[in-house]
Amino acid sequence: MLPGFPDAAPLQGLIGGLLIGLAAALMLLGAGRIAGVSGILARGAGIAEGSMARTSAWGFIVGLPLGALAIRLATDWEPAVFAGWPLLIAAGLLVGFGTRMGSGCTSGHGVCGVSRLSQRSIVATATFMAAGIATVFIMSLIGA
Amino acid sequence: MSLTRKLLPPVASGFLFGMGLTVSGMTDPQRVRGFLDLFGNWDPTLAFVMGGAVLVMAAAWRIQARMTKPVFGEKFALPDRTDLDPRLIAGAALFGIGWGIAGLCPGPAVASLVLSPVHAIPFVAAMLAGMLLQKVTMERKVAS
């Protein structure tokens, strides 16, 4: 419990964050690469060129949902609430286009790049957070 | 490179990544949008996730600096750009808008393929379409 924020889950957030950090550290020190999900996904799908073997990209892409499934089976987990299909598709297009254009997402820029103190990643992370905050604010104004 | 060496780090990294995303609640779009709802009912959980992940990765970068090659690979393949360009910022902004609309970024979307496939499949399909669209419309042609 976090005083003032009854809905927050700081402990789960921190534990999950440490696991994500370990995952990214394993990719860096084990394979010598950035654990950036958008880039690995594009590589696996054959959309992006790159030096990462497509077999390795697929290993990550398959491992990720399996890890999610392991937690799902081991804990009492409530189904999440999602936006409707039209919004999911519009958002998916923007996320796909934007992460390729901006060379990364929350994992590559937000975790790997920020921790490396990369100027590009710090600017990208500040930008997508500000854009996300503005979007949620505007949607709440128009009642979407 | 043997298949084990090629697959072990990415599969293990993906698995830990998926665990972390699910433990931390980042596979719940409402929790992610709660973090972006800075001017409403703000949920700081995502800050703890990022904090935990960046903490571990900051240590990993210090270890990386003393290594000549990754444990399971021949050499490090890391981004080396330091310049800021309009593409980075515009791409990050588009990504942030999509992130704010649906509360999904690439990692949680891939994890959700097993947790909530009905919603994750259209999002991931649209995301791949967006990545492809970016490649087709914007990718610089390299003379070969």
B142 pLDDT band, cuts 50/70/90, is: low
Q: Given a cut of 50, is residue B144 above it in pLDDT?
A: no
Question: pLDDT tens digits, residue range A76-114?
Answer: 878 899 999 999 999 999 999 999 999 999 999 999 999
B131 touches A at CB < 8 Å: yes
Task: State the average pLDDT for chain A.
Answer: 96
Question: pLDDT tens digits, residue range A33-65?
Answer: 999 999 999 999 999 998 899 999 999 999 999
Q: Given a cut of 70, is residue B143 above it in pLDDT?
A: no
Helix B117-138 and helix B106-115, axial crossing angle in degrees, nearest 10: 140
Residues A42-59 as b/e (b if ≥16 CB within 10 A, e otherwise) read: bbbbebbeeebbeebbbb
Q: Given a cut of 60, is residue A19 above it in pLDDT?
A: yes
Q: Given a cut of 80, is residue A72 above it in pLDDT?
A: yes
CB contact under 8 A, A95 and B106: yes
Instruction: Say what percent of chain A tops pLDDT 70.
Output: 99
CB contact under 8 A, B38 and A90: no
| ipTM of the complex in this document | 0.96
Instruction: List, as one string, the DSSP characters of chain A.
Output: -BTTBTT--HHHHHHHHHHHHHHHHHIIIIISS---HHHHHHHHTTSS--SS-HHHHHHHHHHHHHHHHHHHHHS--PPPP---HHHHHHHHHHHHHHHHHTT--IIIIIIIIHHTT-HHHHHHHHHHHHHHHHHHHHHHHTT-
Task: State the average pLDDT for chain B.
Answer: 95
CB atoms within 10 A of CB A79: 11
Q: Which of A2, A18, A20, A40 to mutate against chain B (most B CBs within 10 Å)? A: A20
Q: Given a cut of 90, is residue A15 above it in pLDDT?
A: yes
Chain B residues with CB under 8 Å of A54 CB are: none
Question: pLDDT tens digits, residue range B53-107?
Answer: 999 999 999 999 999 999 999 999 999 999 999 999 999 999 999 999 999 999 9
B1 pLDDT band, cuts 50/70/90, is: low
For chain B, which residues make up each domain, given as ranges? 3-138
Query: Residues of A numbered 62-91 whose beta carbons fall under 8 angstroms of chain B's beta carbons: which are they?
Result: 62-72, 75, 77, 79-83, 85, 87-91
Token output for B9 = 């780090």
Amino acid in the structure at residue B120 = A
Which residues make Cβ contacts (< 8 Å) with residue A18, sequence separation at least 6?
B20, B52, B53, B55, B56
Does residue A93 sit in helix, strand or coil? Answer: helix
pLDDT, position A79 = 86
